[in-house]
Amino acid sequence: QVVTMDKIISLCRRRGFIFQSSEIYGGLNGAYDYGPLGVDLKNNIRDFWWKEMTQMHDNIVGLDASILMHPRVWEASGHVSNFSDPMVDCKVCKSRFRADQIDLNAPCPVCGNKDSFTEPRNFNLMFETHIGANKDSASVVYLRPETAQGIYVDFKNVLQSSRVKIPFGIAQVGKSFRNEITTKNFIFRSCEFEQMEMQFFCKPGTEDEWFPYWREQRMNFYKKMGIHPEHLRWHQHGPDELAFYAKDAYDIQFLFPMGWQELEGVHSRTNYDLTQHEKFSGKDLTYLDPETNERYIPFVVETSAGLTRNVLMALSDAYDEEKTPEGDVRTVLHFHPQIAPVKVAVLPLVKKDGIAEYASKLEHSLREDFVTFYDQSGAVGRRYRRMDEIGTPYCITVDYQTLEDHTVTVRFRDSMQQERVAVDQIVPFIKNAMKN
Ligand code: ATP
């Protein structure tokens, strides 16, 4: 079952995952706010990626470069001259389209007028702003359209300060901005978004070993995150898609509600970027191999994923509407426990007879280890449903038996099975369950 985008959007709004930006003013296209649950989901995916890429590999270091960079960076990278999409406007209703995404001989899809399109023209996707008090052309800077250039520009700094040796990688997570012409499909394509990128620097000639290695690593990452393997596939760039300097490029595609679309790119980029920055900056960006004394500009294998697009993937992949044995339907997000915003909900069966106090104390004692949620209002069945809908993997229920023998019920989100566990064993029990 593939969920519709409308259902995802409605759940996100209703439960506080994601809101349209500036909603009370009518909203701003292509900009979104991550609400209380959304920010935890996004941070959890980011942390999962960061751990996988840096902690689990012995040769990847981190970086957090600034969003504003010297304007020459974007000349060197080719973004000033090439980072554009072909655009047309409808002369009648003023709607704007990507020329490569509509049939220019058909009527305008918005107002239905024929022959109403302007000639296609190139539209640069970089947002421009000004630094300093003067708004002249000398003060123009851009909001970065990708995080990768920060890594290239700091390549030498990292090399000289952190004792890394080739092969090594630099990982970075951060905001990027693109003045996208079409921003439909919720957070899939927005003007402000986050990327998780890693540039792996290797000796020329070894890129054909590292490229399949990183492709495998990246696909495994999504499987480790619990994404259904049948919702993931590879797409190799054909000759018309491949950048002129790239040796090979694959995208990991995910089956989003609107169909198969790119989630992440794994690209073999040769030494193009560093060579360009050496040319434009006049600084030596070569690497001196300490063993062979060879000097070269390293080749790069890049893994480039959208973090906000990962959030949409996680929501779409986890969403389900299931018939319960009682005959009603429950909406459930089957998140991997590691990325679920709330891990443990504590629910007193009733409020009276000291049960609520017991449950509240238990919930406080779990905060050191888990993100918890306490809920004492309404029938317990409805409280379970509320937790299913936000993907909470474990609900702990405190009842009369608890007062006698200090055991509680742990209810599992996916199987809806329940198990009786001693209160003093709860932390290791949940930690263990999260691993399986
Ligand atoms: P597309 O063809 O979809 O515009 P792209 O090939 O230009 O994407 P890259 O420049 O390779 O994308 O960016 C790497 C990743 O960053 C993409 O795989 C995607 O996950 C994410 N990304 C790119 N643009 C956006 C955007 N406007 N909104 C959200 N995520 C984005």
Ligand 1 atom 8 nearest Cα: 262
Q: How far is the CA of 306 from the centre of ligand 1 (A)?
A: 6
The answer to whether residue 48 is domain-embedded is yes
Please give the distance, rounded to the nearest whole angstrom, from the Cα atom of residue 208 to the centre of ligand 1.
24
Among protein residues, the one with the nearest Cα to ligand 1's atom 1 is 262
The residues, ordered by sequence, that sit 6+ positions from 357 with a Cβ below 8 Å of its Cβ are none
Ligand 1 in contact with 147 (CB < 6 A)?
Answer: no
Any residues with CB less than 8 A from the CB of 141 and at least 6 apart, and which?
A: 68, 69, 70, 71, 128, 129, 130, 131
pTM exceeds 0.80, yes or no: yes
Mutation choice for ligand 1 from 127, 235, 262, CB with most ligand atoms inside 8 A? 262
356 and 411 together in one domain: yes
178 CA closest ligand 1 atom index:
27
The answer as to whether 156 is a domain residue is yes
CATH number of the domain where residue 416 is located: 3.40.50.800
Same domain assignment for residues 287 and 368:
no
Distance from the CA of 37 to the center of ligand 1, in angstroms?
Answer: 24
Q: Is the CB of 46 inside a 6 Å radius of any atom of ligand 1?
A: no
Looking at the domain assignment, is residue 79 inside a domain? Answer: no
245 and 215 together in one domain: yes
Structure tokens belonging to residue 193: 């978004």
Say yes or no: 234 and 179 in one domain. yes
Predicted local distance difference test score (pLDDT) of residue 265: 98
- The pLDDT of residue 362 is 98
Whether residue 306 has its Cβ less than 6 Å from ligand 1: yes
Please check whether residues 179 and 282 belong to one and the same domain: yes
Q: Rounded to the nearest whole angstrom, what is the distance from the C-alpha of residue 265 to the centroid of ligand 1?
A: 8
- pLDDT at residue number 175: 98
Same domain flag for 159 and 274: yes
**Is residue 329 one of the residues assigned to a domain?**
no
**Is 17 inside a domain boundary?**
yes
User: Does the predicted interface ipTM exceed a cut of 0.95?
Assistant: yes
Confirm whether residue 179 is marked as ligand binding: yes
Considering the domain architecture, whether residues 273 and 377 belong to the same structural domain is answered as no
User: Could you give the number of structural domains in the chain?
Assistant: 3
Same domain, 63 and 200: yes
Evaluate: CB of 261 within 6 angstroms of ligand 1: no
Q: Are residues 277 and 171 in the same domain?
A: yes
310 lines ligand 1 (CB under 6 A): no
Kindly state if the Cβ of 407 falls inside 6 Å of ligand 1: no
**Residue 177 sits in the same domain as residue 277:** yes
From ligand 1's centre to the CA of 307, what distance in Å? 10
180 lines ligand 1 (CB under 6 A): yes
Indicate the top mutation candidate among 84, 180, 309, 312 to test ligand 1's pocket, ranked by most ligand atoms within 8 A of CB. Answer: 309
Residues composing the chain: 436
Q: Are residues 183 and 90 in the same domain?
A: no
Is the C-beta atom of 304 inside 6 A of ligand 1? yes
Residues 300, 397: one domain?
Answer: no
- Would you give per-residue pLDDT tens digits along the chain (436 residues)? 569 999 999 999 999 999 999 999 999 999 999 999 999 999 999 999 999 999 999 899 999 999 999 999 999 999 999 999 999 999 999 988 999 889 999 999 999 999 999 999 999 999 999 998 888 888 999 999 999 999 999 999 999 999 899 999 999 999 999 999 887 899 999 999 999 999 999 999 999 999 999 999 999 999 999 999 999 999 999 999 999 999 999 999 999 999 999 999 999 999 999 999 999 999 999 999 999 999 999 999 999 999 999 999 999 999 999 998 888 899 999 999 999 999 999 999 999 999 999 999 999 999 999 999 999 999 999 999 999 999 999 999 999 999 999 999 999 999 999 999 999 999 999 999 998 7
Domain that holds residue 409: 342-435
- Tell me if 327 is assigned to some domain: no
State whether the beta carbon of 186 lies less than 6 angstroms from ligand 1: no
Q: Does residue 104 fall inside a structural domain?
A: yes
Q: Is 77 a pocket residue for ligand 1 (Cβ < 6 Å)? A: no
Residue having the nearest C-alpha atom to atom 26 of ligand 1: 189
Inside any domain, residue 394: yes
